Each structure stands twice: as structure tokens, then as C-alpha cells.
Structure 1
Amino acid sequence: MPWLERLRTQGLWLLPATTLALVVLVAWHDPGLLRGLRHAVFDQAQRWSPREPEPAPVLIVDIDEESLRRVGQWPWPRTQVAELVARLHEAGAAAVGLDVVFAEADRTSPRELLKSTRLPREAAALLQGLPDHDEVLATALQAGPVALGFALSDTEAASDCQSPAGIVTLGGAADAQLRRFGGCVHSLPVLAQAAQGHGALSFIPDEDGVVRRLPLLFDLGGHLAPSLAAETLRLALGAQRYTVQAAPDGGGVIGVQIGRLRIPTTANASIWVHYTPPQRDRYVPAWQVLAGQTPPDLFRQHLVLVGTSAQGLLDLRFSPLGGVIPGVEVHAQALEQILTGHWLQRPGWAPAAEVVAVALGGLLVAIAAMTCGALPSAAAFGTLAAALLGGCWWAFTRQGLLLDPVLPSLGMLAVFLPTTVLRHMVSERRQRWVRHAFARYVSPNLVDYLITQPQALELGGRRQRCSFVFTDLAGFTSVMERMDPAQAVTLLNQYLDGMIAIAFAHEGTLDRIVGDAVAIVFSAPVQQADHEQRAVRCALAMHRFAQDYLAARRAEGVEFCETRIGVHTGEVIVGNFGGSTIFDYRALGDPVNTASRLEGANKYLGTHVCLSQATLDGCPGLPVRPVGRLRVAGRQEAIMVYEPLDATDGQAVQQEAYAQAYAAMMAGSSAAAAQFKHLHAQSPGDRLVQLHATRLDSGAIDNLIELSGK
């Protein structure tokens, strides 16, 4: 029914529609696996296109392995740190950020030594008069713009880690999406009071431990606290406050103003760090600064971060470029980006745009997969995926935007694969149905051949030796005239259905059906080495079916006809004929006509199945009896024909006597006529015996039988 077919066809859209809805839902929730894939793509983009190093007034004084070897193991005496800070002030540093927390008193300080060591009174008095190392460092911190670092903690505690700078918020709540910390680990009060800035050293790495973003602000116990990088920059610019612009309705931070610089940020006040490859000239070993072995103007008007790359001090972070880098370098690279105006951003509209891309891309892919073939739909998917990848790469390299091509691509793939598989299954099912239906018009072996050999669907043919089986109903036209047309058609269809099924069972190819006549060819289009034997077996099976069908109809009181069958073998031209409009696969040549003539010869011979010498030659051991040499209409040369014994239906029971009479006829003996008459008297139903007896009685002297008609 048409409505049922429409429902079935439209129901196929349920799979891509459902898949697309699930993909959009998953994309909207953004699970951790998708975030991990997205970050991996962003990291790969940085590896392929890292930030080009640009001149920026940012340097790292590195407490490296060589500095530890020359100066001593960490922690150094605070006097040593004070000297380092003092030298940086003298060198004209714009600001110094200490990526170190001095949470405990210096154990090498005289006062601390007096607590742990018993000394003579004179020595103790001498030590008591020496300056405290922490106070020495505090004096150095007061001498210039220095930002001390502090470590954030999730433990709820009273916090003294506040920047002396003011923070002004414009718009909505600035802390709506900030990472909240309960407390901090800060430096000694004497040092904290001396420093002009305080900044958090902490990072917020992603689930895989990679540091991709650096927060400028944190939520520390309900108050905004800047990072070390932000504080160092503020001190270098001489700014007294931060101006934080936040989106309304809890949208988070939009940007942070530090002095004359406005820094665009993510909603949690972070900046995406676009890393450069390792740059050795970004680092200055601390021992060289202490030894006075640095160029005079190296630090002038530079932001100087003091940190460590020594592995034993455990301040190493995973980088998107692969491997690990010192934590202080993350601050330094972020400052370089800010000062050079190089922004790497993931816009707030990006997640929504990616979900829309998933929906639109998945819809286009679904339409292509449901309406186009496999190659066009795959090309559509590939084109869309390539466009997404290319567009995101252009946005990254040209605009500094981080857009995710993985989510839309995976979404389209999730829609494309099951839809294509479903379409393939449905198409295969339809092909099977068409193949089955087509096989009711064309031989199954021809259908298989054309499927495996599509080039055969071309005009032309080839010479090939084939065997043919022709069948016809004797007097069916007159029977039809006396029968109801509907009944005649039903009887004929049942009969033809059985005959053709037998032909197909023997892997014969249906050459044609003309009314009640059927023509079958063997060894075309697929060559069959035993085509003669197949043809004979097929003819005998058809004969048995025809006899049974005739008996069954007569038992029902329905008039029907006997079947005549001719079998012949010869070389013909097989192929497609007809022209560019329609193909007709068939065989052409004299053997085809001869097989048809042999079928008609049964009427005169009194046989049911008549096969030629050419066919018999390919069937060694087949029990037959010779019929004679036939000269059929249209041929000058006579054909030796035979009747299979299995087709005599028990009438020719005296085979030895028939062979003797036939041999006498071939020898030209006058006794042949009497012998055939005697056989006819014993087997009056054997019409072939009757034919020979009549011929010999009329003066025939050999086995040549002249047939004037078909």
C-alpha cells in the first residue's frame, strides 16, 4: 500500500534524527571526554603554530642547577636573596616578581641560631647585635617595586594574602565564575608588609595536568586576589588598582584593566597562554646576577621574575607544546603576550556556535546520506569536515581564536556512520528485492553475471558454443479458443512457472518466452563445460513435469496439451542486441533455429524429446535410441537425431528388437520393413516405430527423414 511504503520510507529518517538529537544533547553538556579531545586539538594547533618570539621586556632570573652548585643549596640565606633583589633594583628593573614563598623564618638568621645553639655569652651577644636576615630582605623589598608570591589553599582560614591595590568592578559580579580558594600560604609578616605587591603563584591546570590558561584573578575567601603576573605588571605600570569588567547575570569576567592595558579574559579571569618554543635568552642564571656578570642594561625597564628551573625544587608544569617547563615561565610568557598585545582567545560565543555547527553539519550530512549515494554523501561529509578544520585553523593562525573543529566533526561522523549503514542495509535489501523481482523476468544467472560483470551491459556479442532447449505445447492455440481466457492464462502461467523453475534449477538462461513456447540456453552468459549434459537433464526434467502437469489437469477434467522438446548444440553469437534504448540478451545463429526445428519435428516423429548428435556427443553414456537423419526446412544437411529412453514413457520396451530393426534399415535390408511392422504390432503406442514402418512400406530405404514443415 502506498501509505505504508511512505511510512516505511519516512521512518528511515528516525535514526539520523534521533542520532542528531543525541549528539546535540551531548555537545551541549560538554562531557570531560569532549573537553579532553578539544584541548588535545588546541595543543596540536600550538605545536604546529607556536607563538613567534617577539621582543618583550620580560626576563626570568633562574635559580637553576648551576646557581645551586655555585651559591649553595636552597633555601638560600635571606641576605643572599636580598642581594639578588638589590642588584635587580640597581640594574633598573621596572618590577620584580618573586615566584617564592618565604613562609618560615630564615634558619641561618642570627636570632634563629641563638634559639637552636648554646654559645658563650660574648658570642651570643655578638650574634644578637647582627641584623636579622628577614629584616635585611624586608629592607631590600622596600627599596623598589617587588611583588611577593603566595600559594592558594582550599583550606578555609583567615587570609592576609591581599594586594595593597584596589579592585574596582564594573557590570555584574566579578567572582561569579572565579575559582574559589579558602586560604593561602603567605610570606612572613615582616616581608609581606615590606613588599608593594602580593600575587598568587597557583595555577589551575586542566584535567590532564596541562597548564593552558593563567588566571589573573582568584576568589580568595570572598575577596578578589591577583596573580603574581598581574601584580608584577601592575607594579611595572605604576597602577594603583585593577578595573574588572564583568558580564551581567553571572556571565563572569570580560576583561581586566591594569594601568593603560586592557586585557581580554575568559569568564574566570584567565588568559589563554600561546606558548613559544623554548627560548634560552629568556633566562638569566641567578649566579650571574649575584656575581655581577650580567650586561649593565640587561634588566633596565624589564619585568623580572625570580623563579627556579631546578628539578629538585619541583616547580615544573606540563606545557601544551609537550614536555615540562618551569612554573615561572608560564607567568613570563603570559606577561610577554600582554605586553605585545598577542591574544589567544576562546570567545564566549564559541560553545554555542560549535553546538549550532554540530546541528547544521549533522543535518546536512544526514540529508546527504539519506538522499545521495555512498560516494556523494561521503564527499559531502569530507567537504564539511575539511571546511570546519580549515576554518578553525584560519581562525587560530590569523585571528587568535580557539574554535573546536572536533565536536562538529565527531557529531557529523556520529550521524553519518549509522545513517550510511542504515541506508546501505535498506539499499541492499531493496537490491535483493529488485534482484529477486528481476530474476522473475531474467535468468538469475544472468542477473548475477551482470552484477559481477557490469561491462557486459554493452552492445555486442561473442562467439560461443552453447546448448539450447526449446519447448512448445502441441495445439495450445486451439485449446485456448475453447477455454475461458482467465482459466487459460492461469493454466499457462502455472505451466510456465514450473518449466522455467526447472531451467533455472539447472542454471540455464531464459532466452525467450513466445506465448506457450520457452527457449533456454546453456553456457551463456557464464560458460559451462558440461552444458550439453545440463541441457539434456533439463529437457528430461521438463518432460517429466509436463507429463505430470498434463495428467493432473486431465484428472481435474481440464483440457491441456502435450509438450514437445528439442535439444541442439552449436556455435552461436551471444550478447546484447537491440540498440541504445533497450537491451535484449540472447543467442543468434543457426543452432538456435535448428533446436526450434527439432522441437517441431517431434510432431512428425511421434516423440516428446528430440536431441541432436551434437548434443549427444557431449553426453557419453546417455541411453538413447536413434531416430534417424532429419532434413529440416531451411537446411540442406541432414541432422542425426535421437530420443532419450527416459522420454519414451515406457512405450519403447523392445529396445533390442528396435536396435536390430534400425540396423537392418541402415544396411538397406528388405527385412527392415517387416521387422518394424512386427514391432508396431507389439507396441502400437510407439509412434516412432509406426513412422519407420510406414516410411519403409512407402519405399524408403534408409534413415533419412524429410520434414517439409516446422
Structure 2
Amino acid sequence: MKKKTIGYLLGISAILIILILNFLGIFELLEYKSYDFRLKLRGQKNPTGEIVIAAIDEDSMDKVGRWPWDRSVHAELIKKLVSAGVKTIGFDVLFIEKSNPQSDKLLSDAMMKSHRCVNEILFEVVKGVSVKAKPPIEGIIKSSLLLGSPNIFPETDGVVRKMMPVIEYQGVIYPHISVAIASAYLNKPWQELVKNLSLDINGEMLINYGGEFETFRYVSYSKIIDGDVDAKIFKDKIVLIGYAAAGLGDRHVTPFSPAMPGIETIANNINAFINSDFISYPNVWAGFLSVVIVGLILTFFLPKLSPWKSTLLTIFIFIFWSFICNYYFAERKIWLEYVPTASLIIFSYISITSWRFITEEKEKRWLKKAFGQYLSPLVINELQKNPDALTLGGKRVELTVLFSDIRGFTTISEASTPEEVVALLNEYLTKMTEVVFKYEGTLDKFIGDAVMAFWSAPLLQSDHAKRAVFCAIDMMEELAKLQKKWRAEKRPIIDIGIGVNTGDMIVGNMGSIERMDYTVIGDNVNLGSRLETLNKEFATHIIISESTYNYVKDLVKTKSLGTTKVKGKEKQVEIFEIIGRQV
């Protein structure tokens, strides 16, 4: 068989391999990352100004009190906004349970009188099917212009890039809350807004994020109530009411931000509907045709050209394809699949050029040695399997878990006002959360004033013990900064204890069909919690188990605390105090 014929067969094989891998979803995660990169390359895109966020933030909780607030507070807010001339009010707050009857009536009456409020109906979705609805209370339903679903489903890497514009439940179609609010603002049926949207096979549209956190205007909820804001900023605007305080949750990982408030995700999508500013998917055949056409060009030319010319051609096609994808994204707002075709360019070049190198130079013994150094294998850095995120159960893997708890928090609570306690706790938990995210940990939950986090799930991290221990050290360093600040402010000073343990644990979605949490359980989790409590006994701040110590003993300074009997364990456990990092 002629050398060129073999080259052509390699090129055709490369096309088929890339098409199969793309069909199997192997490139999905990398493609998402390329999408994120193109968004960032496009840069900040300021909204047109129709949306203002009334933020339920730390300042508001300091003034109004511990969340949840009495619903009469929301009724007062509505009155303030109506008097300011707001056009549409959207609540990213659920009113699914009855509270004080008088307060419920005040809120529903205020909504009814305003005739401009949109509220949320929550759906529980299992494997893409809505199995249960949680509507607001009857008075809120009657007083709402529209009801919309707040449901948003992250991608396999945890990033929120898409949302379902509509959701079906028992034969009835409901709009997403962002669609409902845009519909009320534009005074158009929501069905008209979603008629010609570009959707993927799951019925999801792309969220056209404008930029990072606070791209939209935030105004503290309490400032609106107190009249400390110029009412003109609300004239003929949409006002969204939602959570901004870190302690209240509802944070999304987005292409621009690791912790964007959910209310701003909604704001981005409303802005897209108001301005018809959408990012579209290409024609269903576009990805297939780009792979085939580029692959055939490379297959035809690479076997014929000299090595340096084939290199130049490959570089040119690679740059040209990158330019085309970025141009269509930035200028025409179309997301062309970049990774499959880019991978084909590299794979075709390596396979065809490598084959030519072997066959053409095999007679020359001195080049055989050079070949081993010349050809670099194509390495796939990361393959992530798509878990069944809504299936109960889990798997047993080795993880590292961290528990931290505030010492004497009850005493501080009794000596301070609720507002002071909430402000102190929010400031502390915000900093601790930032440290956990810095080391790419999974923040399991806040247990009162305690923090629980773990590493190496859902994404595998070979250095999970190191990340957890370094996180613990940084938590103490950040706490020291906060303590210095609090002393200067003459506020209560808190101290913490941290326990870290490594071992086999069960990780996955735990709970019931109605409510599931991604968490870890097992004896080694319990041991981590027990280690945290031992800090009081040993007058220490960070205690790790022997299993964690074996991973980090060369990275940190430690002090053996001997063995101790831990509640819930039959055997003695050897434990160590963390002194600091190795110099």
C-alpha cells in the first residue's frame, strides 16, 4: 500500500474517532471550559439598566433581624417600591408555607394592590421529570401577576450555564421565573417570549452572563425600607428581591464567578429577554460538518506536504478555527463547538506526521533514537464521568474531611444581641468559605456555627489530605486577622477548633426523593468530628488523625499528642497537632 494511501486512511480514521468521542460526550467538559473562556474573552457586558436588585444582605439582617423575616416587612417594601414608580417586582423568595395569618394577609394585599408582583413555584425534579410542585400560599397565588419556576440545574462540572425557560408539571407548562418577570415587564405573553428560543436537546437555553458578581446594581433591602435610597432609581424598573448574604446560601458557580447569588443569575437571564440578547446554539449539523470538512482538508494535504509545510498548515487552520469560533461567539452570539474540531486538527497532525516520520526515517538508525524524543503522546488530562445526580445512594472512596467549630459560641450568643451574633457569624463564615473554595474543597454544610467540608469528591484530588490541612492552617490565619479587626471594633472575639481525618467514606446524594444532599457519611466522618472536639481537651487548634498525618508529615510541622480513646471508636487513635507549614 502506498504511503499516501495510508496517510489518507489515518486522516479518515482520525475523523471517525473524533466523531465517536464527541458522540460519547468525551469532549463535553473541555467544551464547557472553552465556552467559559469565550465568555471571559468577550469581557464585561454591562446591562442596560432596567434591573435593580434589592439585596437581602448582611446589613439588612443586622437591621431587620434574623432570617426569615415577618412577611409584613415585604409588604412594606412593596409599598415603598410602588410609591417610587417601580414597574415590576420579582421575588426570588419562596412563600410556600403559611406564617402569621395577619402578616400573610398584609403581604398578599400589598401584592394584589400593586398588581406588579411575580412569585415563584418550586418543582422537585427527578431524572428530568417534575414529580412534585411547591406553590406559594393561596393568597400569594391570587395576588401574583405570574408564577415562575426558580429551578436551575448545573452542568456536570457544577457550573450554571443554562436554564430551562419552561417546565412541565402534570400537563401544565410553567415559565422560568426570569421569563415570567420579563413577560410582566414587557407586557407580553411569556409564550411569545420563548417561542423561537435556541434550545439544546434537554430544552435548556444558554444564560448570557454580563460579567462577574455585582454586574447589576445592588441596593440593600434595609436601605429601601428606611428610605435611604433615591427613589428615582426604581422608576419604571424591575426590582428583584433575593438573597445576597453568604450565610443564606443560594450561590451559583458561573463562568464568571465561583459564588454568584442566584438572584443575579436570574437578573442576567431577564436582561437577555428584555433586550433579545441571547447566545444561540448552532445548527445541529454544524459540529459534524466542521469536523468532517476540516478533517478532509488535513487528510488531503498533510500526507503530501513536507513536515515544515504541514506544520505551518496545521497552525494556520488551528488559528483560523479559533478565530472563527470566537468571532461567531462575540459578534454573532453563536456557540460553535470548538474542542472536537480543534482536537481533530491536533490529532490528525500528530497521527499523520508521526506515521510519516516512522515510515520515512526508519532506514536511518540515528533518527530512530530522535523519534523517541520527538513524538509526544496525546494525553487527556481529565475525564469526568457524568453522575446520575438525582439518584439516591453513593460510593465508597478515600476522602479527607474537615470540621471546624466555634468555641464558646453559646456564651457569646447570650452576651450579644441577635443582630450582633448574626453579623459576627456571617463575617466569620464568609471568610471560612472563601478559604475552603481556595483549596477547591466541597463545602458540605454549616451546622449552626460549625463548618464541614471535604476533598476529592465529586472531582478526584490526589492531594486531598494536603489541601484539607493547608485549608485548616489558612482558616486559623484568616481567623487571626478577623480577631485583630474585632478587637479594634470592640466586638466579641471567637476562637475555633479544627479536626481533619482521612479515610474511606461514603459520598453521594443522601436523603429522600423529596430532598437530597450531596454529603459524606461513615465512621471516618464521625472521627473527623470527634477530633475537632478534642481541641478543647488538649488546648490546641488543629488536630489531625494518623491517616492524615501519613500524607502530610513532610509538608507541615506537627506535635504528637499520643493516642486517645475517641468516643464511638473501640481502638485507640493516634493524633497530632498541626503547628504550621514546613519552612
| TM-score, L = length of structure 2 | 0.59
Corresponding position: 1:23 with 2:8: no
1:212 and 1:319 in contact (8 A); partners too? yes
What does residue 641 of structure 1 align with? none
What does residue 87 of structure 2 align with? 94
Check 1:317–1:401 CA distance in 2 against 1; reply closer, same or farther (3 A cut): same
1:369 and 1:423 in contact (8 A); partners too? no
Aligned equivalent of 2:153, options 204, 214, 233: 204
What does residue 620 of structure 1 align with? none
Identify the structure with bigger relative contact order (alpha carbons < 8 Å, sequence gap 6+). Answer: 2
What does residue 243 of structure 1 align with? 191
Check 1:51–1:180 CA distance in 2 against 1; reply closer, same or farther (3 A cut): farther
Aligned equivalent of 1:334, options 262, 269, 283: 269
Secondary structure of the structure 1 residue equivalent to 2:233: coil
What does residue 209 of structure 2 align with? 274
What does residue 555 of structure 1 align with? none
State the Cα distance separating 1:340 from its structure 2 match: 2.9
State the Cα distance separating 1:428 from its structure 2 match: 0.8
What does residue 146 of structure 1 align with? 117
Cα separation, 2, equivalents of 1:53 and 1:42? 19
CA-to-partner distance for each residue in 1:377-407, whole Å, 9 max, x for gaps? 1111111110000111111222122112221
Check 1:281–1:406 CA distance in 2 against 1; reply closer, same or farther (3 A cut): closer
1:152 and 1:184 in contact (8 A); partners too? yes
The one-letter code sitting in structure 2 at the alignment partner of 1:286 is Y
List aligned pairs for 1:303-322, cutoff 5 A.
Answer: 303-322=238-257
Check 1:300–1:422 CA distance in 2 against 1; reply closer, same or farther (3 A cut): same
CA-to-partner distance for each residue in 1:567-612, whole Å, 9 max, x for gaps? xxxxxxxxxxxxxxxxxxxxxxxxxxxxxxxxxxxxxxxxxxxxxx
Q: Percent identity?
A: 20
Cα separation, 1, equivalents of 2:213 and 2:245? 16
Corresponding position: 1:387 with 2:320: yes
What does residue 353 of structure 1 align with? 286
2:179 and 2:273 in contact (8 A); partners too? no
State the Cα distance separating 1:372 from its structure 2 match: 1.6
Check 1:194–1:54 CA distance in 2 against 1; reply closer, same or farther (3 A cut): closer
2:47 and 2:210 in contact (8 A); partners too? no
State the Cα distance separating 1:431 from its structure 2 match: 4.9
Check 1:233–1:57 CA distance in 2 against 1; reply closer, same or farther (3 A cut): same
The one-letter code sitting in structure 2 at the alignment partner of 1:256 is V
Secondary structure of the structure 2 residue equivalent to 1:143: helix
Cα separation, 2, equivalents of 1:9 and 1:358? 21
Aligned equivalent of 1:419, options 343, 352, 357: 352
List aligned pairs for 1:488-567, cutoff 5 A.
Answer: none
State the Cα distance separating 1:17 from its structure 2 match: 2.6
Root-mean-square deviation (Å): 2.4
The one-letter code sitting in structure 2 at the alignment partner of 1:104 is E
Check 1:141–1:336 CA distance in 2 against 1; reply closer, same or farther (3 A cut): same
Aligned equivalent of 1:224, options 166, 173, 176: 173
The one-letter code sitting in structure 2 at the alignment partner of 1:141 is M
Secondary structure of the structure 2 residue equivalent to 1:297: helix
State the Cα distance separating 1:216 from its structure 2 match: 1.9
Highest Rg: 1 or 2?
Answer: 1
Check 1:20–1:313 CA distance in 2 against 1; reply closer, same or farther (3 A cut): same
Cα separation, 2, equivalents of 1:281 and 1:231? 19
Q: Which moved more, 1:218-227 or 1:6-15?
A: 6-15
Aligned equivalent of 1:137, options 96, 107, 110: 107
State the Cα distance separating 1:230 from its structure 2 match: 1.2
Cα separation, 2, equivalents of 1:407 and 1:280? 32
Check 1:371–1:218 CA distance in 2 against 1; reply closer, same or farther (3 A cut): same
Secondary structure of the structure 1 residue equivalent to 2:157: coil
The one-letter code sitting in structure 1 at the alignment partner of 2:82 is H
1:362 and 1:416 in contact (8 A); partners too? no
The one-letter code sitting in structure 2 at the alignment partner of 1:234 is S
The one-letter code sitting in structure 2 at the alignment partner of 1:150 is I
CA-to-partner distance for each residue in 1:400-445, whole Å, 9 max, x for gaps? 2211222101012122212211110000125569x9xxxxxxxxxx
Secondary structure of the structure 1 residue equivalent to 2:38: helix
Cα separation, 2, equivalents of 1:280 and 1:424? 53
What does residue 62 of structure 1 align with? 55
2:216 and 2:264 in contact (8 A); partners too? no
Aligned equivalent of 2:143, options 187, 190, 194: 194
State the Cα distance separating 1:50 from its structure 2 match: 2.6
What does residue 232 of structure 2 align with? 297
Q: How many residues align?
A: 365
CA-to-partner distance for each residue in 1:233-288, whole Å, 9 max, x for gaps? 2222333x3335xxxxxxxxxx625xxxx765556252432322343661111001
What does residue 476 of structure 2 align with? none
1:61 and 1:306 in contact (8 A); partners too? yes
1:214 and 1:330 in contact (8 A); partners too? no
The one-letter code sitting in structure 1 at the alignment partner of 2:118 is A
Cα separation, 1, equivalents of 2:24 and 2:44? 28
Cα separation, 2, equivalents of 1:280 and 1:427? 58
1:217 and 1:270 in contact (8 A); partners too? no
Aligned equivalent of 1:38, options 27, 31, 47: 31
Cα separation, 1, equivalents of 2:349 and 2:266? 44
1:61 and 1:283 in contact (8 A); partners too? yes
Secondary structure of the structure 1 residue equivalent to 2:31: helix
Q: Which moved more, 1:90-99 or 1:189-198?
A: 189-198
Secondary structure of the structure 1 residue equivalent to 2:362: helix
State the Cα distance separating 1:101 from its structure 2 match: 0.8
Check 1:149–1:339 CA distance in 2 against 1; reply closer, same or farther (3 A cut): same
Check 1:222–1:7 CA distance in 2 against 1; reply closer, same or farther (3 A cut): same
| TM-score, L = length of structure 1 | 0.49
The one-letter code sitting in structure 1 at the alignment partner of 2:244 is S
2:54 and 2:221 in contact (8 A); partners too? yes
Corresponding position: 1:405 with 2:338: yes
